[in-house]
Amino acid sequence: MGLRVQFLLAASLMFVASMLVLGTWIQGRIETDWRQSAIAATGRFLDDVLGDHVGELLSNPDPGSGEAARRLTAEIGGSLGKEFAAITVWNTQGNQVFSTRRHAMEQVLPEEVRTGVLAGETMVRPRGAAFHAEHSAVMRVYAPIFNPLTGAIVAIGGADQRSGEIDRLARAESMKTWPIVGAATVVMVAFLYLLVTNAAATIEQQQAALVRQAQRARRLGRRSAVLARLAEQARHDAMVAIEKTLARVGSDIHDGPIQRLAILALRLGESDAGRGLGADMQQVVAELRDITGGLALPELEGEDLEGAIKLAVAGHEKITGGKVALRLDPLPPQVRKSLKVSAFRIVQEALSNGFRHGGGADQAVHAQTCEGYLVLTISDAGSGFPDPPPQADGASPCLASLASRVEAMRGDIFVARVEPHGARVQVLLPLGLRPARAAEAL
Average pLDDT over residues 2-11: 73
Over residues 379-405, the mean pLDDT reads 71
Q: Which of 169-173, 281-285, 323-327, 426-430 has the lowest mean pLDDT?
A: 281-285
- Of all residues in the chain, the percent with pLDDT exceeding 90 is 12
> What's the average model confidence in pLDDT over 8-34?
80
Cβ neighbours of residue 78 closer than 8 Å, sequence gap 6 or more = none
Assess whether pLDDT exceeds 50 at residue 30.
yes
What whole-number percentage of the chain has pLDDT above 70? 69
Q: pLDDT at residue 229 above 60?
A: yes
Least confident range from 59-68, 124-133, 366-375: namely: 124-133
pLDDT at 281: 65
Q: What is the pLDDT of residue 85?
A: 75
**Cβ atoms of residues 129 and 154 within 8 Å:** no
Nearest in space to 178 (alpha carbons), one of 338, 386, 31, 352 = 31
| Predicted local confidence at residue 134, as pLDDT | 39
pLDDT for 89-122, tens place per residue? 888 898 888 887 766 667 888 888 888 889 888 8
Please check the confidence at residue 274 and state whether its pLDDT lies above 60: no
Question: Mean of the pLDDT values across residues 173-201?
Answer: 80
Q: Concatenated DSSP letters for 259-323? A: HHHHHHHHHHHHSSTTHHHHHHHHHHHHHHHHHHHHHSPP--TT--HHHHHHHHHHHHHHHH---
Please tell me the distance from the alpha carbon of residue 299 to that of residue 302, in angstroms, as a whole number: 7
Work out whether strand 138-146 and strand 153-162 pair parallel, antiparallel, or are unpaired.
antiparallel
Higher pLDDT, 414 or 191: 414
Question: What's the pLDDT score for residue 257?
Answer: 64
pLDDT digits (tens, 9 = 90+) for 253-265: 655 565 566 666 6
According to the model, what pLDDT value does residue 223 have? 87
Residue 420, preceding peptide bond in cis (omega within 30° of 0): yes
Other beta carbons within 10 angstroms of residue 114's beta carbon come to 20
Single out the residue of 135, 137, 109, 102 nearest to residue 123, CA to CA: 109
Checking DSSP bridges between strand 84-91 and strand 153-162, what pairing results, if any? antiparallel
Per-residue model confidence (pLDDT) at position 198? 84
Contact 89, 156 (CB under 8 A): yes
User: Would you place residue 38 in the very low, low, confident or very high pLDDT band (cuts 50, 70, 90)?
Assistant: confident
Examine the pLDDT at 235 and tell me if it is beyond 50. yes
pLDDT of residue 306: 92
- Lowest-confidence region among 67-81, 176-190, 318-332: 67-81
Using CA atoms, how far apart are residues 39 and 86, in angstroms rounded to an integer?
A: 15
What would the pLDDT profile of 236-258 be if each residue is shown by its tens digit?
677 667 766 766 666 556 555 65
What letter does residue 254 receive in the DSSP assignment? I
Residue 40: predicted pLDDT = 84
**Pairing outcome for strands 412-417 and 423-430:** antiparallel
Residue 58 is classified by DSSP as: H
SS3 65: helix
Query: β-strands 373-380, 423-430: how paired?
Result: antiparallel
Which residues of 134-221 form beta strands (DSSP E)?
A: 138-146, 153-162
Asked if pLDDT for residue 136 goes beyond 50, the answer is: no
In order of start, what are the domains of the chain with their CATH numbers? 3-175 (3.30.450.20), 301-441 (3.30.565.10)
- DSSP assignment string, 121-157: --EEEE--STTTT--S-EEEEEEEEE-TTT--EEEEE
* Average pLDDT along the chain: 76
* Residue 408, H or E segment: helix 397-408
pLDDT of residue 180: 82
Using pLDDT thresholds of 50, 70 and 90, give the confidence band for residue 183: confident
pLDDT of res. 295: 53
Confidence of residue 129 (pLDDT cuts 50, 70, 90): very low
Higher pLDDT, residue 266 or 168: 168
Is pLDDT larger for residue 154 or for residue 177?
Answer: 154
Stated as kind and residue range, the H or E segment containing 87 is strand 84-91
Lowest mean pLDDT among 27-41, 185-199, 284-298: 284-298
Beta bridge partners of 162: 138
Low-confidence winner among 183-187, 274-278, 309-313, 382-386 (lowest mean pLDDT): 274-278
Give the pLDDT score at 171.
75
Q: What is the DSSP string of 317-363?
A: HHHH----EEEE----S---HHHHHHHHHHHHHHHHHHHHHHTTTT-
What is the Cα–Cα distance from 368 to 29, expressed in whole angstroms?
Answer: 90
If DSSP codes are grouped into helix, strand and coil, which group holds residue 387? coil
- pLDDT at site 74: 67
Digit-coded pLDDT (tens) for 45-83: 888 777 767 777 777 655 555 566 676 666 666 555 566
Q: Tell me which of 76 and 189 has the higher pLDDT.
A: 189
Relative to beta strand 364-370, strand 325-328 is parallel
Residue 13 has pLDDT above 50, yes or no: yes
Q: What is the pLDDT of residue 128?
A: 45
